[in-house]
Copies of this chain bind each other. A is one copy, B any other.
């Protein structure tokens, strides 16, 4: 016993671990129904139910019912090496981008009888390896990966080993794995067009990490869009953020302001980076959108409540998750089907952080 108990709780001593009734097993059910376990198994499994007589099936079902029988998925997995579980590999659940994607995934998995096991990698390759190994040893039947980098030896190796997986949001360079992403290029084009239409002629870009497909696709799309609108593709107007974070966004914005402050608008690689801009605006008393317009990407929650409300590219998080899950289920259940990749449609969400340039 610990000598120091917090005084706060004074619960009365109680009998340790009350009757934790053993869950009943298949044998219990079989016994209760007066049949062999094998028969009970067949009766309980829709796939094999046809092999037993209707009468015994009924008896077994009834017995299972009264005993409150729940099949033990662990034993089943051991025997069948299936788990009806998929792994979900995220960089960080705390990023508001992911929860809606997770919900989308779960909404598709659940009706199929599957569940998702969520892990965070914190963008640490060590952790990622450990987490994925742990998932695989738990017999997950596939992986949904949201942490892909363009150069990603681990994922490449896994693909070579035939590991079933689907990428969300980002992809690995030259790796033929089913992927679902937002239509990043179109999103950026919409953002640039919006700013150009407002009359902006010097537009900057705070790019996401160029180690990720999302980062390069968006920044490439930015440069194309700029030229399409007849503006100069000035490299000094593009700054790369090392990570998709508010802090990195702020750093990049400071860098940009140090270089040249004649730009009147900025396309941020994503919403967090845009929030970093807001921080710098606050510290330097820059007014948005009066002095500088900002567009984000993702339309994460609560952006409409910011000051000013952030104009951004809306992506269908939930649908992206759902589609990824559907793809993975397809890979599992119809392995012969050719893998697809999909680009989900985006839309510009115009709010208060963009206006005509004042200069």
Binding site for B on A (CB under 8 A): 1-21, 23, 44-47, 61, 64-65, 68-75, 77-78, 82-84, 93-94, 96, 99-100, 102-103, 106, 111-115, 117-120, 133-134, 137-139, 160-164, 176, 275, 278, 301-302, 305-308, 332-333, 335-343
A9 and B339 form a contact (CB under 8 A): yes
A-B pairs, 10 with minimum CB distance: A6-B113, A307-B307, A8-B113, A17-B162, A18-B162, A1-B64, A15-B335, A20-B162, A1-B65, A94-B99
Expressed in whole angstroms, the Cα–Cα distance for A134 and B117 within the complex equals: 13
Per DSSP, chain A at the interface is loop
Kindly report which residue of chain B lies nearest to residue A94, judged by CB atoms: B99
B46 and A137 form a contact (CB under 8 A): no
Question: In the complex, what's the smallest C-beta–C-beta distance from A287 to chain B, in angstroms?
Answer: 13
Expressed in whole angstroms, the Cα–Cα distance for A222 and B302 within the complex equals: 27
Question: In the complex, what's the smallest C-beta–C-beta distance from A213 to chain B, in angstroms?
Answer: 15
By a CB distance below 8 angstroms, the chain B residues around A114 are 6, 8
- A275 touches which one: B71, B94, B111, B305 (CB < 8 A)? B305
Question: In the complex, what's the smallest C-beta–C-beta distance from A157 to chain B, in angstroms?
Answer: 11
Most B CB within 10 A of own CB, among A8, A106, A278: A8
A6 and B75 form a contact (CB under 8 A): no
Q: Given A103-B94, A137-B73, A336-B16, A113–B5 Cβ distance below 8 Å?
A: yes
Expressed in whole angstroms, the Cα–Cα distance for A327 and B234 within the complex equals: 57
